[in-house]
Amino acid sequence: MQKLMVCIKRVVDYNVRVRVKPDGSGVMLDGVKMSVNPFDEIALEEALRIKERLGNIEVIAVSIGVADTQQQLRTALAMGADRAILVQTDVAVEPLTAAQTFLALAKKENPDLIFLGKQAIDDDANQTGQMLAALWDRPQATYASKVEINGEKVAVTREVDAGLETIEVDLPAVISVDLRLNEPRYVKLPDIMKAKKKPLDVTSMDALGVSVTQFLKTVKVEPPAQRQKGVIVKDVAELVDVLKKKGLI
């Protein structure tokens, strides 16, 4: 094993309460804190742990996005990635185009494994990893909660609706990670300084030969329907009364 690629998305920070724009054209992003998609952080952490365990492995962090996405890639470098590539674009990229872009990078870099989060917390699409694996004609192991590398094979335990499932895939492969795979490390100040000297290449979709296709047109964005505020009962007896009246118990 020589090379691991980790795909990272710049998203609205996990703690921000997102609000819809009054004109229904999208959500308010001005001045909002942006971060590395939390699932992608777990993906990077896993790649770094494999590097630390097996040694002599290069970890490349890649992303697609606006120029400021360099901030998230610098975070990835500070966490321990060896180098980074930004495919810079100002347009919002749909999962299939993202997968085509990562495929172009995979063909250049020939990684043994590509890690990414199972979904991004902005569009919640949960597609890019599976699409990348399909286009690359390689295995996919989604929702990983345990990754064991055995030579040219990887056993991946997956979080599925019924519990846990284990599959074995041949390298190279795409692994999309779930929440409980690991806990990402905190970045220390000296690492941030060191990360400034690590290579971060900026390229474009054009240079990679990928054309941006818009498959889905956004008609409008609305806030969700709100639930009515309910009643507060004083004790268990009253609670049981209310539920019995509703025919629920």
Partner 1 sequence: MNKVLIVGEHDGKTLNPATAKCVTCAASIPDSEISIAVLGADTAAVAAQAAAISGVKTVLRVDRAENQHPLAAIFAPQIVALAADYTHVFGPSTSFGKDLMPRVAALLGVAQVSDLMAVVGAFQFRRPIYAGNAIVTVEADASKKLVATVRVASYEAAASGGTGSVESKSLTVTLPSHTRYVGAKSGSTDRPDLQTAAKVVSGGRALASAENFKILYSLADKMGAAVGASRAAVDAGYAPNEMQVGQTGKIISPEIYIAFGISGAIQHLTGIKDARTIVAINKDAEAPIFEVADVGLVADLFQVVPELEKLIG
Instruction: Report the site for partner 1 in 179-238 (rule: CB under 8 A).
Output: 179-180, 215-224, 227-237
Distance CA 176, CA 39 (A): 9
Binder among 113, 118, 182, 210 for partner 1 (CB under 8 A): 118
Q: Is 240 in the site for partner 1 (CB under 8 A)?
A: yes
Distance CA 4, CA 56 (A): 11
CB of 69 or CB of 128, closer to partner 1: 128
Q: Is 143 in the site for partner 1 (CB under 8 A)?
A: yes
Q: Is the peptide bond before 172 cis (omega within 30 degrees of 0)?
A: yes
Pair type for strands 34-36 and 163-170:
unpaired
Q: Is 23 in the site for partner 1 (CB under 8 A)?
A: no
Distance CA 99, CA 89 (A): 15
Question: CB under 8 A: which stretch of 42-50, 57-65, 66-74, 90-98 binds partner 1?
Answer: 90-98
Residues 66-85 within binding reach of partner 1 (CB under 8 A): none
Binder among 54, 125, 193, 207 for partner 1 (CB under 8 A): 125
Residues 155-184 within binding reach of partner 1 (CB under 8 A): 155, 158-170, 173, 178-180
Distance CA 129, CA 226 (A): 33
In the complex, least distance from residue 81 CB atom to partner 1, rounded to whole angstroms? 24
Q: What is the total count of residues that contact partner 1 (CB under 8 A)?
A: 81
Give how far Cα 44 sits from Cα of 9, 36, 213, Å.
12, 10, 28
Distance CA 138, CA 89 (A): 27
